[in-house]
Chain A
Amino acid sequence: MTGLRREIYEKYKSQNRLFVAMLELTYRCVCRCVHCYIDEYESPELSTEEVLNLLNQLKDEGVFNLSLTGGEVFLRKDLETIVAEAGRLGFFTNLLTTGILIDPAAADMLERHKVHAVEMSLLGARAETHDALMRHPGAFAGLMNAVELLRERGIPVVLKNTVLRQNAGELEEMAALAAARDCLFNASLSVLPKIGGDQEPQSFAVDFETALSLNPRLLLGGPIPDEDTSGGAFLTCNAGRTNCGISPFGDVYPCLIWRRPVGSLRTQTLRDIWHDNPDPYLTRIRASRPEESDECFTCEVKKSCRRCPGTAFAETGDFQKPVLSACRLAGKREG
């Protein structure tokens, strides 16, 4: 980050101004991924008008980076209207999708509206692995077709992997597959419980021995940094400060991992939720200090730890508690 960018970002942080927003447009999907965190749901999605209004509020708030995610965003019939408005308002828009519904017309649409990048799930280097984990026959072929259509148009593509027991052995091959198609690649070990708390998705996560055998350079965040993070880099984060997540129903969260609602866009404006009348929980997050996560702050392996406060909340209900998987990985790395 250049000096000026850092200075501006610090100003955003000091004012709790949103810089990054992740907006879930729908929970409807064409796949039923084994590790998906989305539960059954009943609420109606935000209407086109509500989404467009929200985008304008995000622009007024100062947001630069917008991620549109799902479910499968291409199941929204108004996707082009939304993407066009996001482009008009000058967001750096990333779209997260399975890729299955991207045909030449859809790829043209994304190019026309200057989508910044498209991020797609890659759950295996082979069709049988990917399709089985996505629970959608033909998903791999659809994804590869989408990659080709997007790259032909010069749209940057990120292939994102969640490392699971069934695909961990294909990690290097997936990275090579992405590189061969001029796509970025990253993988994450994080598997969250379902929104309602069901921990079934986590049964697909790799064990720690497997996790430790993986090439750390391919994992999200890259290798564990050598420098000490005792300043609390992983004990607090920007969620609830410069970052937020928004559900298809207008619930606002500190981030999409940290799903503690702090307001509803159905009854409040974004400004009201984020600045004028913040939920006490949001205020508490913003006031939190690394030393308050006492177990972690005094931990002797914290410098190797990739702890995420949102994951701590998802797993324990308390964002200041240790994350068991992170503890064990950090401990192992330190020997």
Chain B
Amino acid sequence: MNISAVLEKKEGFTVRAMGDETLILDPHGSAIHVADEVGGFIYDRIDGVLPLSRVLEAILEVYDIDEETARKDLLSFVEKMVEQNILGIMP
């Protein structure tokens, strides 16, 4: 995954905040994915327009974390979400 990639949310997922966590339910209600606070922050900002580099900037603005760690965590999170078909990579 490249930091300049643009991702989109796949349709049909139900998203609910539960405290610091974000619950993402698949369209059939059969699988639940739980994102932690930062994961929820990232998921919120995936909009099919902003590249991941802008999401990284937003993370650095809000969280006290060094850029390299944030970049690694961001890419690792979105790769998992793409694998699980919750997020898609825009062409």
Query: Which positions in A face B, CB cutoff 8 Å?
Result: 2, 4-5, 8, 11-12, 17, 59-60, 62-64, 90-92, 114, 116
How far apart are the CA atoms of A182 and B48 in the complex, in Å?
39
Which B8-60 residues have C-beta < 8 A from chain A?
Answer: 12-18, 23, 25, 27, 29, 31-32, 34
A4 with B32: CB separation less than 8 A: yes
Whether the Cβ atoms of B29 and A114 lie closer than 8 Å is: no
Docked Cα-Cα span, A131 to B77, in Å, equals: 56
8 A-B pairs with C-beta separation under 8 A: A4-B34, A5-B32, A8-B32, A8-B34, A62-B16, A64-B25, A92-B29, A114-B27
A11 / chain B contacts, CB cutoff of 8 Å = 18
Interface of B, secondary structure class, is strand
Nearest-CB residue, chain A, relative to B16? A62
* B13/A90 in contact, CB under 8 A: yes
B18 and A8 contact, CB distance less than 8 A: yes
Contact of B18 (CB < 8 Å), options: A5, A17, A59, A92: A17
Q: Mark B55-76, 1 if CB is under 8 A from A, else 0.
A: 0000000000000000000000
Whether A62 pairs with B32 at a CB distance below 8 angstroms is no
- In the complex, which of the residues A2, A60, A64 contacts B14, with contact meaning CB atoms closer than 8 Å? A64
- Please state if A92 and B17 are interface contacts (CB–CB under 8 Å): no
Report whether A91 and B14 are in contact in the complex, using a CB–CB cutoff of 8 Å. Answer: yes
* Residue picked from A4, A90, A92, most chain B C-beta under 10 Å: A90
Known contacts A8-B23, A64-B25: A92-B32 contact under CB 8 Å: no
Find the B residue at minimum CB distance from A89: B14
Q: Is B16 touching A64 in the complex (CB atoms < 8 A)?
A: yes
**A62→B17 contact, CB < 8 A:** yes
* B15 pairs with A90, CB closer than 8 A: yes
Chain B residue contacts of A17, Cβ below 8 A: 18
- Cβ of A60: which chain B residues have Cβ within 8 Å of it? 17
Smallest beta-carbon distance A9→chain B, Å: 10
**B interface residues with partner A (beta carbon < 8 Å):** 12-18, 23, 25, 27, 29, 31-32, 34
- Inter-chain contact A114/B12, CB cutoff 8 Å: yes
| Residues on the A chain within 8 Å of B16, using CB | 59, 62-64, 90
B32 neighbours in A (Cβ, 8 Å) = 2, 4-5, 8
Q: What residues of B have a CB within 8 angstroms of the CB of A59 in the complex?
A: 16
- In contact, A62 and B18 (Cβ under 8 angstroms): yes
B25 smallest CB distance to A (angstroms)? 6
Shortest Cβ distance from residue B67 to the other chain A in the assembled complex, whole angstroms:
32
Choose from B14, B18, B31, B34 the contact partner of A90 (Cβ within 8 Å). Answer: B14
User: Of all chain B residues, which has the CB nearest A91?
Assistant: B14
Distance in angstroms between the alpha carbons of A283 and B2 in the assembled complex: 52
Task: For the complex of A and B, list the 7 residue pairs with the smallest distance between their C-beta atoms, beginning with the closest.
Answer: A90-B14, A62-B16, A4-B32, A92-B29, A5-B32, A62-B18, A90-B15
How far, in angstroms, from A91 to B17 measured CA to CA in the complex?
Answer: 13
Given contacts A2-B31, A11-B18, A114-B27, 8 further A-B pairs with CB under 8 A are A4-B32, A4-B34, A60-B17, A62-B17, A90-B15, A90-B25, A92-B14, A116-B29
**A2→B17 CA distance, assembly (Å):** 20
Least distance between A155 CB and chain B CB atoms (Å): 14
Residue of B nearest to A92 (CB): B29
Q: How far is the CA of A258 from the CA of B17 in the complex (A)?
A: 28
Q: How far is the CB of B9 from chain A (nearest CB, A)?
A: 11
A163 to B30, CA, bound (A): 31
| Distance, CA A90 to CA B31, complexed state (A) | 14
Q: How far is the CB of A39 from chain B (nearest CB, A)?
A: 35
| CB nearest neighbor in B for A87 | B12
Chain A residue with minimal CB distance to B15? Answer: A90
Give B33's nearest chain A residue, CB to CB: A4
Residues on B with beta carbons closer than 8 Å to the beta carbon of A114: 12, 27
